[in-house]
Structure 1
């Protein structure tokens, strides 16, 4: 009975972890640029004094879905999104290069271009500093142009260019802060084919219906594991009574 109880217990605990993955995806269904986490379970043989005739479940996050979400038009000049493949480079809280597919940008009091979460945006030479301006535009190739204070509307000066990179999905990993990084820790390669759309934000790539269905399915599985644990307890009690009678 103890083996049956152990297998059911591990199934329930791992099932609860799987539910957390899908619950987190659901919680970020409206988070711009969010990349959903994938989840899978596999059986692991139990090794001991005998042959591994039993197996327990193990939940794992094998990867992150790197596909893009829907494009949401905002009309704001400093809202940017990657329309296809590629990433926008930012400086993470740890000071290292990280990537996102969408960002709502702002210019701080020192003229540094930052995301809505305060992370500096990277350009060709590092963080991007924007002089005081009347207007700012971001081209499809990531070029940042401004019209300086008091200048003619037709006079636009190039300040910098967004660092736009690309890499294979297998070379990327998602951090706990939601940002994407390379598995090697080295900066991803620049890609001139990556295009950015100004006035748009990219929505989450989470399918709410799919995630909810998975949560419901996992909830039923969890209940089944609990029932197995209860059955193991009842069988153990019944066996104890038989032994007492004998």
Structure 2
């Protein structure tokens, strides 16, 4: 069998992998704080056997990453919304340990804890869940300080609850999880708070996925896949012709 079948099918497999990542990005165009996932593959020459010419090139998946550029900031005016202004992350607690997110659409759960829309407790600078007074109203400061005013309290009795744990580890030290959250890679300890990270109260950061570019990439990938399948079809056709010629000669 012509080895072009293997190289073409390998290329088609890489394209399908990339297409699934592009489709996931497209599905998260409206997800708050989402970071577009990057998929890359590179060509690798196939080492020929003795007497053969180096005419085959295979493909392998390169190390995937994420686009860390800032998404659009939208003013919601909601008291429990906050966006990271510039680089940085909110820290949250998950069953798999501490994780990081840019999604600042917070809520208060039945245990009076400040949580994300996914239900994960938001962590304070001390690494603990943030407790909210019953029916209390919260105010966020740009440095991450959280103040609360209890129901019926005098406005002068505002109390300082905690401070968001805001971190900014190097992107190379973080990895994306299947749940969309980021964590420290290779079992590294949790990131330390970074006082340089600031937030924008009353804002949320939208996904940084560009819908137009993503749609173009999806169409281009589909066409590339069709070309790979055409190569497989042509190789099979050429093999059939070659076999028919040999049959006639015999």
Shorter chain as denominator, the TM-score bin is over 0.9
Q: How is 1:51-200 mapped onto 2 (pairs within 5 angstroms)?
A: 53=54, 54-94=56-96, 96-125=97-126, 126-184=128-186, 185-200=188-203
Higher mean C-alpha deviation, range 69-78 or range 59-68: 59-68
| 1:48, distance to aligned residue in structure 2 (A) | 7.6
Higher mean C-alpha deviation, range 160-169 or range 52-61: 52-61
Stretches of structure 2 that go unaligned for 5 or more consecutive residues are none
4+ residue runs over 4 A deviation: 47-52
- Counterpart CA distance in 1 for 2:137 and 2:11 is 58
Residues 137-158 of structure 1 deviation map (CA, whole Å, 9 limit, x = unaligned): 1111111111123211232100
Residues 196-227 of structure 1 deviation map (CA, whole Å, 9 limit, x = unaligned): 11211110010111111111111111111111
CA contact (8 A) 2:125 2:193 kept: no
TM-score (norm: length of structure 1): 0.93
- Counterpart CA distance in 2 for 1:134 and 1:182 is 34
- Counterpart CA distance in 1 for 2:95 and 2:82 is 21
| Residue number among 209, 213, 231 corresponding to 2:212 in the alignment | 209
TM-score (norm: length of structure 2): 0.92
| 1:52, distance to aligned residue in structure 2 (A) | 9.0
CA contact (8 A) 1:86 1:194 kept: yes
Q: Secondary structure at the match of 1:75?
A: coil
CA contact (8 A) 2:73 2:205 kept: yes
- Counterpart CA distance in 2 for 1:61 and 1:80 is 32
Q: 1:99 to 1:8 in 2, by over 3 A?
A: same
Q: 1:29 to 1:45 in 2, by over 3 A?
A: same
| 1:61, distance to aligned residue in structure 2 (A) | 4.6
| 1:42, distance to aligned residue in structure 2 (A) | 0.6
Indicate the RMSD between aligned Cα atoms, in angstroms. Answer: 1.7
Q: Secondary structure at the match of 2:95?
A: coil
CA contact (8 A) 1:133 1:146 kept: no
CA contact (8 A) 1:37 1:61 kept: no
Alignment-derived partner of residue 31 in structure 2: 31
- Counterpart CA distance in 1 for 2:179 and 2:103 is 15
Matched length: 245
